[in-house]
Each structure stands twice: as structure tokens, then as C-alpha cells.
Structure 1
Amino acid sequence: MNIVFVSGSVVGTKTRRAITELKKVWLKQDAAAQIEIIDLKALKLPFCDGRHFLDYEEDVVATLKKVVEADVVVFGTPVFQASIPGSLKNFFDLLPQDALRETVTGIVVTAGSSKHYLMAEQHLKPILSYMKAVVVSTYVYILAEDFVGNDLVKDDVDLRLARLAEDLIFTTEAKRYIQKKQEEAYGF
């Protein structure tokens, strides 16, 4: 299974920390999983100017292909101005429209308060749906108070991350089972 986690901010550390924690939790459930983390902070992505994604620089194309070819993609994002950060929106804009077609996707949100809990429902899920992703309904919303320094300290966060990993694994396996049955039924 090809798994990619995207840390969707160029500032701060909490989103990357949450994504790293999800990777640890996932590996407890599936030790053989190969998970790659794409941290937008570590990349020099250009602003999207409408070109086809293959027309960008080689390193940009390589990063975008990892997402396009993934079976599972988890997007981690902080809440900025009650929405996703511009760096993550730009990342989506660089991808082709159907880049996430039938890709199982999950969401991890870090935020300073609970006031924007529905941001994932109102901003991120519509983008993923437009890109034809299979979006698991469970997402994890982590508050600043769940961190001490850069460490996640609340046990319920680990439980919620474990549930997200379970849902992503189950959805991916169910999708594969359905595809196999369709291939058998139609002979291709």
C-alpha cells in the first residue's frame, strides 16, 4: 500500500508533529506499511500558474506524483483565518483535477481553539470531494492545549488518531475488495 501524509503548512510544528504521531499509531496497526511524509515547509513549491503539473520543475513533479500515485493520502493542516493555509491550497492547485480520484483520504487538523471545528467539513472536504477522493468521515481535530511544547499529551488524541488509521486501512481494504470483485465479474 502506497501511503503519503502531507503536512500542509510552511510555519509552525504542531501539524507536522500530529502527522508524525499518526504515522507511529498507524505503524502499530500495520508494521509493514510504507508511509512517506511530505512536509510543505521543507519544499520550495512555486505558486500555481495554471500549467499542467508535469510542466513544473522536476522536483515539484516528483512530489506531486507521489500524491497522484498514492493509495492513501492524509492531509494535515492548521487552521488559519478559519480555513486552510494558502500553502495547502496552492498544493491542491498544483495537482491535476482528478489527482485524488478514488484515493482514500484522511484529515488531521490542528487549531488554537474549538471554534473552527467545522473548517474541515466546510473547506477541506469539499476540495477533496471535487478532486474525486474517497474521504473517510472520521477526522482528527487537535487543539493547542493537547500539546505541551511539541509533544502531544492527551491520551484521547492517540485514540482518535488510531481510529482514523483504522478507518483509512479498512476503507482501503474494502475498496480493493470491491475492485477485485468487479474485475472478476467483468473479466478485466
Structure 2
Amino acid sequence: MKLVVVSAGLSVPSSTRLLADRLAAATTERTPAEVRVVELRDLAVEIAHNLTNGFPGRNLATAIDAVTGADGLIVVTPVFSASYSGLFKSFFDVIDPDALSGKPVLIAATGGSARHSLVLEHALRPLFAHLRAVVVPTAVYAASEDWGAEGLRGRIERAAGELAGLMAGLSTAGRGSAAAGDGSTAAGHGSSAAGGGPSAARAVEDAFEVVPFAEQLAALRPTG
């Protein structure tokens, strides 16, 4: 699998890149993946040119291909004026709006104060919801005082686990679909694998128990 990290940090060294690296390391501890880091700082000029002429430069095109072809994304931005940075937004503006549909994404941000932590919910999450990506429930914000604190480590571990779970689940689903396709082909040739279709369906039914909403609601009502 391929895990792509998008870092919008501007300084060197960058706390944004540091958070991105920690999230990537925690994710790959849970699911094997090839990690590639896209530093937007190095693509700023090409991003600006793409916005004005509609054509990505060679390095930007390579970065876009990496992001759109990834099995999972970690995106990290510093906070600017209570939102994501202009460079961060501009990069995702030049990507095809449908290219991230269904892709697992872990969102994260860094800032000087914990007061800006809501940027994750009022800016980043809506952005990737608009792009129809699948954003993991836990977002990670790191203020200056968070570095070295136990709370940050816990959030990183939890978010990484959620991303790894989504990536592994999609990978398994992809292999299952390929296997189902092979079974259908074999069935067309009179193979004994024709029975694999119903068996696979029964396995899915056994794995997931569907409870009607009315029953769930009744279970929540007091019985006394």
C-alpha cells in the first residue's frame, strides 16, 4: 500500500513536518505501507503557475499523481488566520475535485496556541468532506505546549490506528472484489468455483448483523 503525507510547513525545521512524520510512523506501525512525503513549500511556484495557466509543472504533476494514487493520506497544515494556509488550500484546488473520492484521509494541524484547535473541524474536515474523502474520526492538533506532552502521543496513536484500519479494510475489499471477479470468470467456463459467489455472500451476511432502526430505537427506551 501507498501512504502519502502532505505537509504545508514553511519553516525548516518545521513542527508541521514533525507532526506529519510522527503520524506516518504510527500508521506504518499498524499496517505496512510505502511512505512518500509531499512538501508543498517546494511546489509553491508551480502551484501558483498552475492556478494561472491551468498546467502543472513536472514536480507538481508528480505530486498530484502520488496523492491521487495513494491508498491513504495524511495532510498537515500550519494555522494561518484561524484556518489552513493558502498554500495548503491552493494545492488541493489544483487537484481534480473527484480524485479524492472515497480516499481515507487523516487531517492534522499545528499552531502556536490551543485556541486554534477548532480549525480541524471548521476548516479542514469540511474541505475534505466536500472532496468526498473519508476523513478519520480523530483529528490531531499540536500547539506549542503539546510537544512532549502525553496527550499528543495518545491522539497520534488513535488517529493512526483509525487510518490504518481504513486502509487495510479497503485493501482487503479490493482483494475480495478481484477474487470474486476470478470466480465469476471460472463459473463462465463451468468451473466448480461457481459456488464461490453464494458462499462469499453468506460470509458477508454472517460478518455483519443488520439491526432495523426501529429495533435499535426500542432498545434505547426505558423499560420501567
TM-score by length of 2: 0.72
Note the C-alpha offset of 1:20: 1.3
Specify every segment of 5 or more residues in structure 1 that has no aligned partner in the other structure, as ranges.
Answer: 148-152
8 Å contact from structure 1 (residues 4, 66) kept in 2 = yes
The answer to whether the Cα contact below 8 Å between 1:25 and 1:158 also exists between their aligned partners in 2 is: no
Deviations 1:121-172 (A, max 9, x none): 111111111111111111111111123xxxxx12322221111111001112
Opposite residue 135 of structure 2, the aligned amino acid is V
- Distance in 2, matches of 1:89 and 1:187, equals 44
Task: Give, in whole Å, the separation in 2 of the partners of 1:84 and 1:103.
Answer: 20
One-letter amino acid of the counterpart of residue 24, structure 2: K
Task: Assess if the C-alpha contact under 8 Å between 1:104 and 1:172 holds in 2.
Answer: yes
Evaluate the alpha carbon distance shift between residue 57 and residue 117 of structure 1 in structure 2; reply closer, same or farther with a 3 A threshold: same
RMSD: 2.3
Any idea what the Cα deviations from partners look like across 1:14-52, whole Å, max 9, x if unmatched? 10111112222233334x421111111233433242665
The match for 2:164 is 169
CA displacement at 1:174 relative to structure 2: 2.5
* Matched letter for residue 16 of structure 1: R
Percent of paired sites with the same residue? 27
Contact 2:68 2:99 in 1 (8 A): yes
Does the CA contact (< 8 Å) of 1:2 and 1:72 recur in 2? yes
- Does structure 2 retain, via aligned residues, the 8 Å contact 1:9–1:88? no
TM-score using structure 1 length: 0.84
Give distance in 2, aligned partners of 1:142 and 1:67: 23
Count of aligned pairs between the two proteins: 180
The one-letter amino acid paired with 1:39 is: E
Higher relative contact order (CA 8 A, sep 6+): 1
1:182–1:50 CA distance, 2 compared to 1 (3 A):
farther
What is the rounded CA distance, in whole Å, between the counterparts of 1:141 and 1:159 in structure 2? 12
- What is the DSSP-based 3-state SS (H/G/I as helix, E as strand, rest coil) of the residue aligned with 1:10? coil
